[in-house]
A and B are shown apart, each in its own frame.
Chain A
Amino acid sequence: MSKRWKSYRAGDYYDELIIAKGSPRQVARPAVKLLGELAEDDLEARRAAAELAIREMGISFTVYTEAGNIDRAWPFDLIPRVITAREWTSVRRGLEQRSRALNMFINDVYNKQKIFADGVVPAETVLESSNFKEQCVGASPRFGVWAHICGSDLIRNRDGHFYVLEDNLRVPSGVSYMVENREITKRVLPEIFQNYSILPVDDYPSQLYRTLAALSPRERKRPVIVVLTPGIYNSAYFEHAFLAQGMGAELVEGADLFVQDDDCVYMRTVDGPVRVDVIYRRIDEDFMDPEAFREDSVLGVAGLMRAWHAGNVAIANAPGSGVADDKVVYAFVPDMIRYYLNEKPLIRSVPTYLCMREKDREYVLENIADLVVKPANESGGYGIMVGPHADKATHRKFARLIEKDPRNYIAQPTLALSTAPTFIGEDIKPRHLDLRPFILQSRDTWVTPGGLTRVAMVEGSLVVNSSQGGGSKDTWIVEGRL
């Protein structure tokens, strides 16, 4: 093994590949061995090849800065993350269960509201949330499913268990990078596949197609499915195109669609108007339909909500789904699972303090230096305060914010995110990571084998978002022992 690997020390965290003494976990051994045996210049050549592949395949994401939008090459780390198939099976079951319960909750909230009546979730926490959309009340999407595509963020804690950190039910992104990361590994480290049987991930687009096709209001062999993108300047445009192509669907912008007097949605084509059955929307619901939501939206399609309520078009994820990815609602998910499914939660949630509850709030304000404080409605890692990493002034600032608007804040204990060996310049260092699997649900439920592993590239940092300098790793689900 090369010097780099020998001098690698996992910190006081669960390390995905290396155990405390410095030797690799059994399941990671062939990978570490191969990487460790590569000569210096060979290794450099592989890393360069990976960078080139990313540029040539045009895998990019857009970063918004004051100086304008920049198209950045996707950050990829050569060292894969390895998870055993056995461990993954239990995670997968937990995620399927969670997705079922979340969808039953959304359907309940917009219809009978039994969960409020039975006192399991306080009505006002949901109804006062900006994620609750009045416009969706009374709708009944097919199979009672609202969130057809869910991206849940998991972390592995020091105890070695996976925890769900949050569920993204609006327009979760990242799945194309999961597929492309595998593609890059295949190109630059082909030998490594000889020693492993790794579950394939490139099936995702066809699974997504199946999930969406089942929603079609018209019985047709090939329903007309479109991916609705805000356009080329959206940070996830690459992914929108990737998925449309993978499904053989049209990639449309708002201006390509219109709703006619018959309350059906049509797209403008070279053959005239063609009716659309299913819209996989990758634009925020607030911009989806200027008739129903923000009037100033130029990205949306006027009348879309009318068509959806009339049952003439399916929209995935259904508008209003975001009501269940509120960070306050998150705290109630284990209760939902027990309430709707009469089952024990199979995957852990992070203990969550709701600042709206007086007792919780007192605890949070007293222990703010040890907690992570999050606004209930932001995504992308914005507006989060990590207590142990923040200074006193920031603690005071967040205490004031909480007192001013307790509904909008939650707090959680600081978790010890697991680490994995990551190339940092010439060296290999432990860096924290998370995992975003994707759960598809319509007629049935399907979970990606693995998901997108995101890496915080700065030492000690827990911020993994690519918009804030995070990296990524190929994630393997393999046969073998820990």
Chain B
Amino acid sequence: MTMLSRVAERVYWMARYIERAEDTARLVAAYNHLIMDIPRGSEPSWEILVRILDAETVFDEWFNVRNEQNVLRLLMGEVDAPCSIPYAVKSARENVRTTRDVLPDEVWELVNELHLYSAEAAEKSVGRRNRQAYLEQIIQRTQVINGVLRSTLCRDHSYRFIKLGQLLERADMTTRIIDVGASDILERETAGQGIDHLLWGTLLKSLSALGAYRRLIEPQVEKNAAVNFVFMEATFPRSVRFCIRELKPELAELSNAKDAQRAIERIRRKLRGFEAEQFDQAELHVYIDELQLLINGLHQSIRDTWFISDHG
């Protein structure tokens, strides 16, 4: 069974938006925890979330003061802000709405319910009291959707493009979180030695990597080991290396995959031998920048090969 190029593009974006909603919810939830653990005055600013999501311009369009309330209103409360959770969910829904025929029935219902929930509960969940429950709902519901996809969708092209979208988005998000998170923590290095472990732990937690890190590496979170872990750990499903490796067999099933496979090779070469110890903060930032460009290059070759098609 083949697949329409237009449909492939839409399921790919559906998967990216679902993943984005989940990752954003994890990120906000992790920071929300952290804020309560840290003594007043030395907590990291909420602004970092805006920077991770590359949403400075959008933020300035909507708000003036970069405080907790406004940052969370932007990321959770504004359905029309392109970096918000409800926006990602709405976009996922729009893409499912036009591809319902290739997806299991439950997926449409679940995404639709998620959309209704995320839009309705968003406003009143900005405050600290309901915030965590809202974020947990988003995470759980997106995971249910992924579970249904994994357990009911045939391993055909629709599954393939969903996986491409999901893995690409995840790799992209992981690099963003490390990039901004590392610079934030390192800039305050002199400020509070005592809480660094906590901050790095939070970073891992926002990637759901904390438990795995503790089991595989050590209970105390240390910077270089943490960065190595989320970039390179071969067994951890959210590490950049893992995502890229998983993309490969999916591409192998598609026709005309040469360009995309080359793009993957470039990313693998870039990752090969990565060790956080080799970089200082500025160098790490440059490295991640280059990596992100390569990931984006992969996205573009997927788009050019399978989504935009003329006769043939």
Contacts and interface: CB of A to CB of B under 8 A. Distances in A.
A249 B1 CA distance: 10
Contacts of B256: 272
A270 B101 contact: no
A258 B311 contact: yes
Interface string A239-275: 0011011000111110110101000000111111110
Contacts, number: 68
Given A232-B98, A245-B100, A273-B311, A56 B4 contact: no
Contact of A269 (B5, B97, B100): B5
B97 A270 contact: no
A256 B4 contact: yes
Q: Which of B6, B101, B161 has the most CB of A within 10 A?
A: B101
Interface stretch (B31-39, B51-59, B105-113, B194-202): B105-113
Contacts of B98: 232, 241
Nearest to A253: B6
A258 B101 CA distance: 21
Contacts of B97: 58, 232, 241
Nearest to A231: B98
A273 B100 contact: no
A268 B6 CA distance: 8
A270 B5 contact: yes
Interface in B237-287: 254-256
B113 A270 contact: no
Contacts of B255: 270-272
A227 B105 CA distance: 18
A79 B301 CA distance: 55
A85 B95 CA distance: 42
Contacts of B4: 250, 252, 256, 267-270
A55 interface: yes
B190 interface: no
A269 B101 contact: no
A57 interface: yes
A267 B4 CA distance: 7
Given A55-B116, A241-B101, A258-B311, A269 B3 contact: yes
A270 B157 contact: yes
B306 interface: yes
Interface string A289-310: 0000000000000000000000
A204 to B, nearest CB: 15
Given A57-B109, A58-B109, A58-B112, A274 B2 contact: yes
B33 to A, nearest CB: 31
A53 to B, nearest CB: 10
Nearest to B305: A270
DSSP class of A's interface residues: helix, strand, loop or mixed?
mixed
B8 interface: yes
Interface string A56-68: 1110000000000
Nearest to A71: B97
A415 B113 CA distance: 43
A53 B312 CA distance: 42
B14 to A, nearest CB: 14
A57 B29 CA distance: 30
B64 interface: no
Interface in B6-27: 6-8
A: interface residue count bin: 20 to 34
Contacts of A269: 2-5
B312 A273 contact: yes
DSSP class of B's interface residues: helix, strand, loop or mixed?
helix
A182 to B, nearest CB: 15
A268 B8 CA distance: 11
Contact of A270 (B8, B100, B109): B8
B193 interface: no
A135 to B, nearest CB: 25
Interface in A55-112: 55-58
Interface string B277-312: 000000000000000000000000000001001011
A270 B161 CA distance: 10
Interface string B87-104: 000000000011011100
A256 B99 CA distance: 14
Interface in B66-105: 97-98, 100-102, 105
Contacts of B113: 56
A81 B25 CA distance: 47
Nearest to B5: A268
Nearest to A273: B312
Contacts of B311: 258, 260, 268, 273
Interface string B140-174: 00000000000000000100010000000000000
Nearest to A251: B101
B159 to A, nearest CB: 13
Contacts of B3: 269-271
Nearest to B108: A58
Contacts of A273: 311-312
Nearest to B115: A58
Contacts of B306: 270
A382 B113 CA distance: 35
A297 B223 CA distance: 60
A431 to B, nearest CB: 29
Given A270-B3, A270-B157, A274-B2, A249 B101 contact: yes
Nearest to B254: A270
A58 B7 CA distance: 19
Given A245-B105, A272-B255, 14 more contacts: A55-B112, A56-B116, A58-B97, A232-B98, A241-B97, A245-B100, A245-B102, A249-B101, A251-B7, A255-B6, A260-B311, A270-B3, A270-B8, A273-B312
11 contacts: A57-B112, A241-B98, A245-B101, A245-B105, A251-B7, A269-B2, A270-B5, A270-B157, A271-B2, A271-B3, A272-B312
Interface of B: 2-8, 97-98, 100-102, 105, 108-109, 112-113, 116, 157, 161, 254-256, 306, 309, 311-312
Ranked 4 nearest A-B pairs via Cβ: A244-B101, A245-B101, A269-B2, A241-B100
